Amino acid sequence: MQLKSVTRPAGRRRALLLGVAVASALAVAACGSSSSSTTSSASSPASSGGSSSTAASSSSSSHKNLTIALVPGLTVDPFYITMHAGAAQEAKALGVNLTWQGGTTFSPTAQLPVVNALLAKNPSALLIAPTDVNALKAPIQKFVNASIPVIAVDTTINDTGLLTAAITSDNTQGGAAAADAIAKLAHDKGDVAVDNVNPGISTTDARAAGFINEIKTKYPNMHVVATEYNNDSATTAESQVRNLILSHPSLVGVFATNLYGAQGAGTAISAAGKTGKVFVGAYDAEPATVALLKKGAINVLVIQQPAVEGKDAVLYAYDKLTGKSSQIPKNTLVPNVVATTATASDPNITKYYYVTSFSG
């Protein structure tokens, strides 16, 4: 089932079309090309369509000196690998250079040295998935002070005034969708728990809040009995969910807010023989989580469109660097796609599954 999407402003349509190109070029349909993004703008978005397209085709050779740096939350996560693929496709189409550097764990400790080293290289623009809403503010401020525009992609920081734009999935909606799906399977009653990453991550915090709020406001006979933090570790998530099963006999559902939590929660449910008894709603579609979805150890997967996010981020950076700032939406919300065990092999769903490698 694909969730409601809203058409982009006319000036963004070229990005949408490029999304199609990314999906075909990768032959994996990772980017959810047919969906569009909702955008809102602090300045006014372009009212006349196609100007980026014209600029891209006429100027691709004259912008070879532009280097856009993409710093993911971590480099080994299929979500960010798929984002890289979308960004690289867009950079190629626009004739700009794209660099990709990051840590191998999702933490400010791993990300800060990468970001600080990048500043010395003076890229034309920085695209970043900040690993913490506060810890990345000071380094991002340094880029802004050096007149290097910064676009947040996926996660963001608290001080959004520093950013040229922010692109993310509809995280609140994704959490609420998981809550509704679990409630339906559990006949609107019982205890549920959240397995989150770490406090201070904008995306996963919003997903957890969306889930908890939906349960509290719509399901009076359901109760959120615990929130655990797994530090982006599937192994930790697995042992947390095993413990939740033991300590909460009325547990009917677990919401895992990202890919590693999903792997851990699904594995725990399967190992404990709780498939079909404790329902799992979770985020992100890569081979391990899709396998768990297919066998019913995960019941619902909220799938994002990271290639679309990466592509949009490169386009907005290009617009900023080529004098088209008025075309850039301040906030872009990319819709989710929700998969269930029943739809896991449907081509309309599988085209959104993430890639696990990209060497662009």
Q: Please tell me whether residue 358 binds ligand T6T under the rule CB under 6 A.
A: no
Cβ 56 to ligand T6T shortest distance, Å: 27
Site string for ligand T6T, 273-312 (x = CB under 6 A): ----------xx-------------------x--------
C-alpha dihedral, 88 to 357 to 137 to 313, nearest 10°: 30
Q: Please tell me whether residue 353 binds ligand T6T under the rule CB under 6 A.
A: no
Number of residues in contact with ligand T6T under rule CB under 6 A: 14
Question: Whose CA is closest to 237, among 202, 197, 275?
Answer: 197
The residues pairing with 279 across neighbouring beta strands, listed in sequence order, are 253
Contact 158, 134 (CB under 8 A): yes
Q: Please tell me whether residue 203 binds ligand T6T under the rule CB under 6 A.
A: yes
Q: Which of 11, 18, 77, 333 binds ligand T6T (CB under 6 A)?
A: 77
What is the C-alpha separation between 42 and 51, in angstroms, rounded?
19
Q: Please tell me whether residue 335 binds ligand T6T under the rule CB under 6 A.
A: no
Cβ 231 to ligand T6T shortest distance, Å: 12
Q: Segment contacting ligand T6T (CB under 6 A): 49-57, 77-85, 270-278, 345-353?
A: 77-85
Q: Please tell me whether residue 83 binds ligand T6T under the rule CB under 6 A.
A: no
Nearest 5 degrees, angle CA 11-CA 15-CA 17? 110
Q: Segment contacting ligand T6T (CB under 6 A): 111-119, 257-265, 287-295, 337-345?
A: 257-265
Q: Please tell me whether residue 154 binds ligand T6T under the rule CB under 6 A.
A: yes
Q: Please tell me whether residue 79 binds ligand T6T under the rule CB under 6 A.
A: yes
Q: Please tell me whether residue 103 binds ligand T6T under the rule CB under 6 A.
A: no
Question: Whose CA is closest to 307, among 272, 352, 269, 344?
Answer: 352
What stretches of the chain adopt beta strand conformation (E)? 38-40, 67-71, 97-100, 125-128, 150-153, 165-169, 190-196, 222-229, 251-256, 279-283, 300-303, 331-334, 337-340
Q: Please tell me whether residue 73 binds ligand T6T under the rule CB under 6 A.
A: yes
Question: Whose CA is closest to 1, among 258, 341, 277, 356?
Answer: 341
**Measured from the CB atom, is 169 or 341 closer to ligand T6T?**
169
Q: Which of 118, 259, 285, 328 binds ligand T6T (CB under 6 A)?
A: 259
For 314, the enclosing helix (H) or strand (E) is helix 306-321
Contact 314, 333 (CB under 8 A): no
Q: Tokens for 102, please give them.
A: 């990051």
Q: Segment contacting ligand T6T (CB under 6 A): 37-45, 252-260, 266-274, 318-326?
A: 252-260
Q: Please tell me whether residue 210 binds ligand T6T under the rule CB under 6 A.
A: no
What is the C-alpha separation between 20 and 13, in angstroms, rounded?
11
Q: Segment contacting ligand T6T (CB under 6 A): 24-32, 254-262, 263-271, 312-320?
A: 254-262
Q: Which parts of this chain interact with ligand T6T (CB under 6 A)? A: 73, 77, 79-80, 154-155, 203-204, 258-260, 283-284, 304
